[in-house]
Structure 1
Amino acid sequence: MPDSGTVLVITGAFDPTADLVIEELNRRAVPVFRADTAWFPSRLAVAAGLDGAPVGWRGEFASECRSLDLAAVRSVYYRRPTPSEFPSELSPEARAVAAAEARRGFGGLLSALPARWLPPPGRAAEAESKPLQLRVAAECGLRVPRTLITNRPDAVRQFASRIGGPVVYKPFTPIRGTVGGESVAVYASVLRPEDIGHPSIAATAHLFQEWVPKAYEVRLTAVGGRLFAAGIHAESDAARTDWRSDYDSLRYRVCDVPAEVAAGVHRVLARLGLPYGAFDFVVTPSGNWVFLEVNPNGQYGFVEQATGLPITAAICDYLEEDER
């Protein structure tokens, strides 16, 4: 099949979310070229030229089995690529130089393609900032929890006193690792009295928020202006604090999005320059929607599987459109 109108999918070897999109694009007979930045330079070669005419870069990517005409790329699904790999015999200094050149050369060429991106990698990286998300969400009319970022134990004590109720700690980024041979993760947690003002807070930046009473939570997935919302109902104490800590206790129900919330979500996406966002909200017992965060490249497959919401189809609709 010719590569005219090819969707370039950039992701790691194991990515069930990208698999869903590729399967749907295949069903639609849309050409797909899947690659990982880790393949460059050992398993993926590039040759591209610019001759001064206003036609952009011309050339190809070539793997052992396939090649891709860069002029044929209509859109890029940028999921979870892994860093370039280099021969072990390279010295650490040479490997660092090669990695930097690969990011700016190979990665720069990717970003220069005149194609529709989901999401644009630069915008997505900026939008992952929790402080930026919270500020933009508040400016766009969404309710946000009272929040403190600090490394001062006394500031946490003052914040907790001002809140007058439970305080939640949240990591800025997902924290996962292995301790004693077992996989562990750090999730949002309600501070115990002895944790408030603990000296270890001084070691780095921490994010604290007021606890927002929950009737349930919502994962709202926005794709190219379309909104898909699923209520997440937790049935364990751990999941009521952070539903990601206990998926087995969750029930999902499709729900409607209040007009003012939908308008705020669209404004947030426009401000952040994102065509896609996985938003998390708390819905209080009184029905107020409170913004927690937005992931510019978040998982959605578990919601689609549980509810039947056509999120994969919406992503493929977006990737099929051609803005060149």
Structure 2
Amino acid sequence: MPGAGQILVLAGRFDPTCDLVVNELNRRGVPVFRADMADFPLKLTLAASLHGHRWNGTLASDRRTLDLASVRSVYYRRPIRPRLPEGMSAATRKVAETEARLGFGGLLTALPCRWLPPPGKAADAEYKPLQLRVAAQTGLSVPQTLITNDPGAARDFADTVGGPLVYKPFFPVRGTVDGQSAAVYASIVQPGDLPHPDIATTAHLFQEWVPKAHEVRLTAVGTTLFAAEIHAGSEAGHIDWRSDYDSHRYQVCEPPAEVTAGVLRMLGVLGLPYGAFDFVVTPEGDWRFLEVNPSGQYGFIEQATGLPITAAICDYLEGTGP
């Protein structure tokens, strides 16, 4: 109910995007209990029992205690998986991790409150093949796409497209190589580069290269949409804007009516109250859907444009927003 109860924030300890939301809720005087699932079971204590159709109990840290019955909403912001006691065998650790996920995580999902986003729905929506099907189903324009581990099929797809392809990973690939941070971004594949034997090693996603006037990050909170053009100022950023944030210029824009309708229908099908959508806008002005991230970053857009995305998220968590 609006105006009553606490907001539970589940996030990693160092999360600037989450900090924006927590700071705004604090400014509004809304009670917040912030925790990271990584602190369970070593620094978080859970005790809950089922009374009738409701779970009652507490979640406690070394400083504060949360009455589970008081939770009105949960901001699920990329929490880290539970950290377990040192010295556990691999087999014991695997069992304990599963029990923590199904017990602690399962109890939280059983609370009768709104989530942004719901963990199960968000996990399902991470699947790119599902996203692309639902986007096409709900009226958004989707590039020609192939998923394969067959090098010959990739070559045939390039022949069908009649031009360069884009390869992109299904999930962000980041890590360190020789002590240096490294990431795999979208890259252009020329037809002459195919077939390539590495394609046979796992599933690969290829799409037709769509000419870009610019790209758009469209952030949806409930039924409120915030759209910003991303104009990349480097060659690498033109291929994948995530590879060169420093070169960008941003500009607030208004999505076409058919894109707005498609985005809202897509959120409805996926069961999501939040989504960070990426589109390519062609030189002719056509919007082509690339992907949606159910817990995507938005702080850099708000900082660059002033779009009130944090306020909309807080409205939703308070129960006052659509």
- What TM-score do the two structures reach when normalised by structure 1? 0.97
| Conservation of the 8 A alpha-carbon contact between 1:116 and 1:322 | no
- The match for 1:59 among 57, 60, 75 is 57
In the TM superposition, residue 194 of structure 1 has moved relative to its aligned partner by: 5.0
Instruction: Provide the residue aligned with 2:42 in structure 1.
Output: 42
Q: 1:322 to 1:67 in 2, by over 3 A?
A: farther
Query: 1:255 is matched with which residue?
Result: 253
Per mean C-alpha deviation after superposition, the further-off stretch among 268-277 and 96-105 is 96-105
Correspondences of 1:275-314 after superposition (within 5 Å):
275-314=273-312
Give SS of 1:57's match: strand
Tell me the CA shift for residue 159 of structure 1: 0.5
1:138-165 Cα deviation digits (max 9, x unpaired): 0101000000000000001100011111
Letter in 1 for 2:158: A
> Is 1:235 equivalent to 2:268 in the alignment?
no
Match of 1:69? 67
Q: Counterpart of 2:46 in 1: which secondary structure?
A: strand
What displacement does 1:322 show?
7.5
Equivalenced residues, count: 319
1:192 shift after superposition: 3.7
Q: Is the 8 A contact 2:21 2:310 kept in 1?
A: yes
Please name the residue that 2:8 is paired with. Answer: 8
**Alpha-carbon separation, structure 2, partners of 1:75 and 1:183:** 36
Letter in 2 for 1:169: Y
> Which of the numbers 110, 113, 124 marks the counterpart of 1:112?
110
Give the superposition deviation at 1:181.
1.0
Q: Please say if residues 6 and 33 of structure 2, whose CA atoms lie closer than 8 Å, have aligned partners that are also in contact.
A: yes
The alignment's TM-score, normalised by the length of structure 2, stands at: 0.97
Q: Which amino acid aligns with 2:243?
A: S
Pairing 1:208–2:181 present = no
Aligned partners of 1:277 and 1:295 also within 8 Å:
yes
Between the aligned partners of 1:205 and 1:157, the Cα distance in structure 2 is 15
Residue from 231, 242, 245 that aligns with 1:244: 242
Correspondence for 1:148 among 140, 146, 166: 146
* Per-residue deviation, residues 58-115 of structure 1 (Å, max 9, x unmatched): 0000100000000110000001111111111222111111111111111110110111
Runs of 4+ in structure 1 displaced over 2 angstroms? 192-195
Residue type of the alignment partner of 2:96: A
- Quote the residue 1:32 is aligned against: 32
Cα distance between partner residues in 1 of 2:151 and 2:231: 34
